[in-house]
Structure 1
Amino acid sequence: MTKYDDQNKNHEREKEELRGEVAGQTKELKEQVDFSNTLLDALSDLDQGMGIVDPTADKFVYVNKALTKILGYSREEILKFDSILDITPSEEMDHLKERQRRRAKGEQISNKYDTAVVGKDGKKVYLEVSVKPIGDPDNLKLIGLIRDISEEKDVQGQLTDAQKKLEEMVAARTEELNDAVLEIKEVLNNITDAYIRLNKKGAVVDVNRQAEKLLKKKKGELCSKNFWSEFPQIKESQLYKSWNDICGGNKGVDYEEFWKPINRWVEVHAYPMEDSDVTIYLRDIQAKKMAEEEVQARLRDSEAERAKDEALLTSIGEAVVAVNRNGKIIFSNGAAQRWFGWGAKELHNNNVDELIPLIDERGKVVTGKRRPMKKAMEQRMRVSEVGFSVRQKHGSSLPVSLTAAPIINKGEVIGAVSVYRDIRKEREIDRAKSEFVALASHQLRTPLTITSWYTEKLASVTDDKARKKYIKELQTANVRMINLVDALLNASRLELGTLGTDPERFSIADLADRVLDDLKPIINKKRLRLRREYDKELKEITTDKKLFGIILENLLSNAVKYTDELGEVRLKIEKNESSINIAVRDTGFGIPIAQHKKIFQKMFRADNARERESDGTGLGLYIVHSIVKQYGGRVWFESEEGKGSEFFVTIPLKEMGKNNVKDGG
């Protein structure tokens, strides 16, 4: 065998080995291609969008079906884009280019970010993108998992708008409530007595202008300061000595005393409040004390001075009555005669117990040693008391506070003089203020608690369905709070006489239809039958549209609220020569006959209404009754429990255009 033959055999062997190596590599490459195809098929069926991007050209090299569905383009259309920038909106362009620049420089950037693209339909699509590099540095690709968050963005925007609107509504209603409180404070500022409010520790909470004038200090100098520290000499007063009893809610105090810090006589009335604060009313009675002392001095003088004394007493605005030791009336001023209804001749030389009887808080007549005049004569000292009423000649009662002092001549008690003060206004202000604060605190607590609870829940959940539910509950609680505030403000303004009127010309039928339209969601939900019967002669009238609307709203909302499903509500409005007549009938719960007399009382709700419908203030019919009464009209009803009720309102036409409701402006 030649050398050439050996070389040939070696070449053949090498070629055979090379063929085997190529076949192995080909098989391995085929397996990799098969695996890649299998992987791409699996990725194509993913529910979440996925795409592979060549970062050098910034274009897609692969997208799955989910991504085509999100963008609205076909796979072929997406792969033909020259760059991702082709579907990037202008406002997102800078952000995307900045990421490209930082990636090109090899800087560390976040693998997860939010962006937006323009879909095939031209609408903006918001995306959440998670990116991860794959492959070796020479053949680097970016694989991204892409989720459509457009709906989340929309819900988030709705939540932001709803929250903003809710905050604005709450702020507006809070401002109205603050205005009402300011109105009450203005009333307190305008009373003639000094008003001081202290907490249990003696810190000043509030004062009015009269208090500033009497104490010679401004409100800013007093508030939050300890009253006893500011005026240490008052620690010698009966007020300070009775402080623990007052704060304990056991009793109030009413007395007269000389206050050294202001160097004046004052009449003190201190009462505990429901919130543990103490209200103090001070009346500057320096002039009255001087008058009383002058009265006693002049009564001890000669009869020649009597005319001067009587002239002085007659000029006093409060009722003054003097008696001898036997209780016979020897003097009465003009105020006493006007207040108690008797003439000077009828009073003179008659028994004070018979013509000016004092009635205590239990309704019993105060006679003998219990009467302040008798006490003053026996104790030879001044006596001041409150909690009494005087029965007038015509039978009515007048609440008074009174001060009695002995008349002493040459060391002997010859009689007594008593000064009566009308305290009706103070009692009305105290009652209205306490009831308003208590009612507002009680009624607003529930919706405010609900609002707070759902706001906390809304901040802690991410589920859209739960968020929508909480927003709906917040809206319901807000509407309830608005209705409560409106009812509370209307009731308070009616009582204080500050509910202003603004007469205008309008159609009653149109107003009634608007009220019924507002109630339509509830009417439709309950599938109630609604009947409207309007008089053909019912044209436009001139009166306060707001107050007339309040009457219709309260009557119709009650009828709808207290009528079960498939029931019937009828509204009938007629006009005759002298009046407008309204009738609202329902087939609802009806009113128990035992509670008919209480139905127009403030905060009263019938037992069956409270048991079956928890939502309600008991103010609606009270407000209707008050407004109709102001217009000289009449409201009444007919009702049978379990069958329904019908409410009737009649308002005289001649009264409608007048400002009958007192204006607080």
Structure 2
Amino acid sequence: MPVAKKSKSVLAALERIAFHLRFRGKLEDLLNDLTPFIGEAFGAKSVAIWLASEDGKYLRIASYFNLTPQFVQFFAQPEHWPRPGQGVVGRSFGERRMYVKHDLLNRPEVPETWKNLLRKKYIEATTLVSHPLFVQKDKPVGIVNLYFAEKKTFTSQERTTLSIIAYQLGVSIEGQSMYSSLRENRDELVHERDQLAHLHQAVQSLRISVEKNLSEILDELSATLGKAVGASGTAIWKVAEKDPDSFHIFMASGMSKVYVDYFKGHPVQISSLGRSSPVVLAALTKKPAFVNNFWDPETIKRFPQGILDAISKERIATVASFPLFDKDELFGVLNFYFAKVHTYSPTERYILQVAANTVSIAIENTEYREELQGTQKALLNILEDVDESRQRAEEERNKTQLIIAHFADGLMVFNEQGQVELVNPRAEQMLRLSKERLLHKSTEELRSFPQLNSLLALLKEKPESGYRKEFELWKNTFIEVSIILLKERGGGEGTLLVVHDITREKQIERLKTEFVSLAAHQLRTPLSAIKWTLRMLLDGDLGSLNPEQREFMDKTYQSNERMIALINDLLDVTRIEEGRYLYAPGLASIEKVIESVLELYKEEARRRNVELVFQRPKEQLPQALVDTGKIQLAIDNLIDNALRYSSAQGKVVVSIAQVGEEIRVSIQDAGVGIPGEEQKRVFQKFFRASNARTIDTEGSGLGLYLVKNIIEAHKGRVEFASEEGKGTTFFLTIPLAKS
């Protein structure tokens, strides 16, 4: 079918459904009118609409287009009605997803009795498309089946169009069902109609816009719902910022000033009221709470006298409380107050829930207005006609395309088959390839472009969503590629590559490293001169010192030593970052390396009154191929930390053992530990735990960074386990030398 004619057919079907959103007649007439338009919209040979029974246990044909009498008669028999999970129709309904199936005679999920219909030519169908008819995502009301005589490839645009039609058709069917059931009782019909009319007015008046603040929305909500369900007032109770165990009135409408002022200044305590308060119950369960008789003794028996005084003059007989959420976090509770004892019909509960959802969205909108445009569209979609919905979708699509076109980073989208579906201008510029040369190309075809090899290799690894990796795209041009996995319609999974140019960051990092290296080298000479001058003074080479002078000189000498150690650490860090931190591996006993370090710290351990224990292995361990000096530096750093952050009369235990083809060293202390929320930063440069800084202000935060780089350069691993206030254990794992 030509594209223009096909689009016209789709629009005709949508317009028909839009007309029937307001249709008030027999459901059979509605479906018989719509079915041919749906078939024409997609070029289907035949169409069938299956509706679920009231108990949801089976489906039956409710309307069809161009089906043979034999086919219809077969499925008119109850024993042939599909059940959820049975056949393509039942699976589409039960799993709430669209199915596109080809070569039906050879599909195992198609029952044999149904295949007989194909063999007998009761229906011409090579391709079957089944799509659930939704009112809500978790509430299908039936299935629409499209039968194609020839093999039909269903594009993503056709899938989206069918989803829109199926959703609107589901809404129409549900609307007709509701109308039919309401019509059985005239008085109830009038009441329900009036309530829905007021709900329409409420939702229309609560359109989220930049002109309306939350207070205005609450006033309109109180006025419209007063007519819809008889509510006399509304109030938003918000979680107190300084005390999450309490709620106070954030704003209210229709309530007395005395009531509002009291609960603004006197928050309700969850611990004191428990579940006797509907506000507390809704907050704790995160579900609506309904109190049919507010003054029931069981309800108010835990209320303090101050609360009873504040509510005594209010006309409150019944309260409905709904939790409010801001970005999935509990914001507070919305209360609806009724002056008379009230029971809630399902429709009223639905109306109140819609109102609460609207207020939740309005709360989010005050902070993130632009992000809620899609949510606003979803809320109003049921009350907008199809033309307006289509126009809004077009605007959103244009906006998204504009954002993508002007995005500062390069964007590439690959579908599940590995073909390029989207390339933005920034990606074209960075890769030096036009989108015409990239779009719809497979990964194999893209290998002809050398600049894409690193990206394609990353895709082949199938990393998790959020994974990042740096590459040199061109000479002296560096990029960081982020992976984001995308869920496609039909259950597939695409991949979004975000390509960020980090050339400037790399240049800045290089300049910073060069500056640190230069500054450190420049400082070493004067610091060394100061060291030897102070040493001469302390040794008496320049004359004797009195005790006060010696103490002062000794402190100065120690401070200078710490500065020299910091300079050496900085130089080691710059050598690592520049790739100049050279290793001279040789066969060595890790046990002897540990002994040499422990010997250096015996006096320090005695001075700190900390027991330093070495648990030697029972048997001699094999040697490892290591740079002895570097391994000694790594172990030195860990033992120094363990002693530094252990309290007096504490214990530091060093152990070594062979585990498989590796040597495993552990250094355990019972010191201050590392706070849990800070543990992920332990190996970052200059990081020091917050509790460590209060104990020792002299550390540089470079030791663990050096340890990690040294051990990983030996193909080993550094791990740790820590609990704040109980201590830390570091584990070094080093491979044994291969024979």
Q: Which of the five TM-score ranges fits, normalised by the shorter chain?
A: 0.3 to 0.5
TM-score, reference length from structure 1: 0.35
The structure with the largest alpha-carbon Rg is 1
